Amino acid sequence: MRRIDYWLGVPLCFLLSSINYFSRFIDVERREDITPKNFLFIKLSEMGSIVLSYPLISKVRKECPRADIFFLTFRKNKPLLEILDIVPDHNILAINEDSMRLFIRDTLKVIKRLRKEKIDIVFDLEFFSRFTAILSYLSGASKKVGFYPYTQEGLYRGNFLTHKVQLNPLLHISKSYFSFWQAAKGKIKSSPNLGGSIKDNEISVPKLTTSEEEKTKMRKRLKGFGVQEDDRLILINLGEGNIPLREWPLEKFVALAKKLLEEGNNYIVAIGTQSASRKAELFRQSINSKRVIDFSGKTNLLELLTLFNLADILVANDSGLAHLASFANIKKFIIFGPESPQVYLPLSENTCIIYSSLPCSPCFSAFNHRNSACQDNKCLKIITPDEVYALTKTYLQ
C-alpha cells in the first residue's frame, strides 16, 4: 500500500493540484457560502484512530443535527462504525483491500457515490496519506480539511486542501482531530494557527453496554472452559504482528500469565484478530494450563465488547483493541514503547499506562510513516513481567 501510495500518489497529487489551481480562473459554480448539509469523514485504516475520531464526529452531529454524515473506511472497520451507531449504516462506505481488483472496484464505486451525494465538507483523518487526499479532492467537496505539513517534515500530498491543519506531534490525536471543526468554520485556512484551546471535557467516548442476552451467551461460552461466576477474567492481547516493534515480547506475556495463574480463580483469555492466533497458540502451549483460553480470531466486535463488560482487567500492547476497550469500564493496563502515550492514550480514565520513557522513545510518528530504524525495541523489553504483575495485583486485590 505504501509503494502504491508513493508511485501513483505523487504524480496524481501533482496532476490534481494543477487542475485545482487552474480551475480557480474558470467561472464554475461554488458552494462555499451555503450551509453544509453533507459531511464526509475518511479514515481507512487503524481501528484505534477511528475510535479517537468519535469526539469530532459527535461535535459535528451536535452542531449540525440535520446534516447527513458519511464515513469512508476499509471494509474490516465497518462493524466498528455499526456498533458505535454514530453514522447511519447506509452512509458507511467501505473499500475492500483484500485484492487490487476489489480495491479499484470499490474505490470507483465510492467516488461515484460521493459525487452523487454532493458532499459539502470532507475531513481527511489520515496522516499524510496521498490516497485519501486524492479521494478528498474527487469527492467534489467545496471544503477539504486535513493535515498539512507547512514547514514541517511530511509527505507531499498535493495542494488542494482548502483548510490545512498542522499536525501537532505533542497533542493527543483526538484533540488534533477535534481541531478540524475549528478549522472548517472559516472560508479558507492556509496558516497553522487555530482560534482556541480544546477542553478535556470535550474529548470523550461513550460507555457501550451489550444486552443481557449477549452477556448470557458469553457466560455460557466461558462456562464451557470451566469459568464460573465468581472467577476472575483477565483479557490479554498479545499483538497482531502487523508492527512487531510495537509489541511486548511473547515470553514476557507468558511469564506474566504464569504469575497471574498462581491465583486459583484467575482465568486468562487471549483476544485479538485472526492475525494474533499464531502467537496465541504459542502462548497457550507455553503455559499449558486449562485456565488459558484462546479466543483470538474467534470473536466478532460485539462479542469482544461483551467480554470487555464481563472481564476484570485487560493487559494489551498499544493497539486499536486498547482503544476499543475505552467503551467499557474494564481496567486497562496498556504497554507503550515506540509510540507516545501522550499522543495515543486511550480515552478512558480507567487506564494504567506502562511506559519505560527511554530517551529514544517514541520513534514512531506520522512524520516517518512509522518507519523506525530501530531493530531492537528495548523500550518494551526493559518492562518486566514483575512490574506489570505488581500493577495488576494491586487492582485485583
- For 187-217, how does the pLDDT look when each residue is reduced to its tens digit (9 = 90+)? 888 898 988 899 999 999 999 989 999 999 9
CB-based contacts of 274: which residues, under 8 Å, 6+ apart?
296, 297
> Is CATH 3.40.50.2300 the classification given to domain 212-396?
no
Across 19-23, 31-35, 228-232, 322-326, least confident range: 31-35
Across 4-13, 180-189, 289-298, least confident range: 4-13
Protein fold of 2-202: Rossmann fold (3.40.50)
| Whether the predicted model's global pTM rises above the 0.85 cut | yes
pLDDT band of residue 340 (cuts 50, 70, 90) is very high
Q: Please state, in angstroms and rounded to a whole number, the distance separating the CA atoms of residues 282 and 183.
A: 48
Helix (H) or strand (E) run with residue 102 in it? helix 100-117
In which residue ranges of the chain is CATH 3.40.50.2000 found?
2-202, 212-396
Residue type, 250: L
Pairing of strands 68-74, 38-42: parallel
- Residue 335 above 60 pLDDT? yes
Which whole number is the average pLDDT over 93-118?
A: 95
Q: Please state, in angstroms and rounded to a whole number, the distance separating the CA atoms of residues 373 and 364.
A: 9
State the sign of the Cα–Cα–Cα–Cα dihedral 145, 16, 112, 119: positive
Write out the three cell numbers for 251.
515470553
- For 137-160, how does the pLDDT look when each residue is reduced to its tens digit (9 = 90+)? 999 999 999 999 888 777 788 888
- Please report the DSSP string for 9-20 in residue order: HHHHHHHHHHHH
Residue type, 90: H
- Residue 386 above 50 pLDDT? yes
State the sign of the Cα–Cα–Cα–Cα dihedral 154, 155, 156, 157: negative
Q: Please state, in angstroms and rounded to a whole number, the distance separating the CA atoms of residues 305 and 176.
A: 26
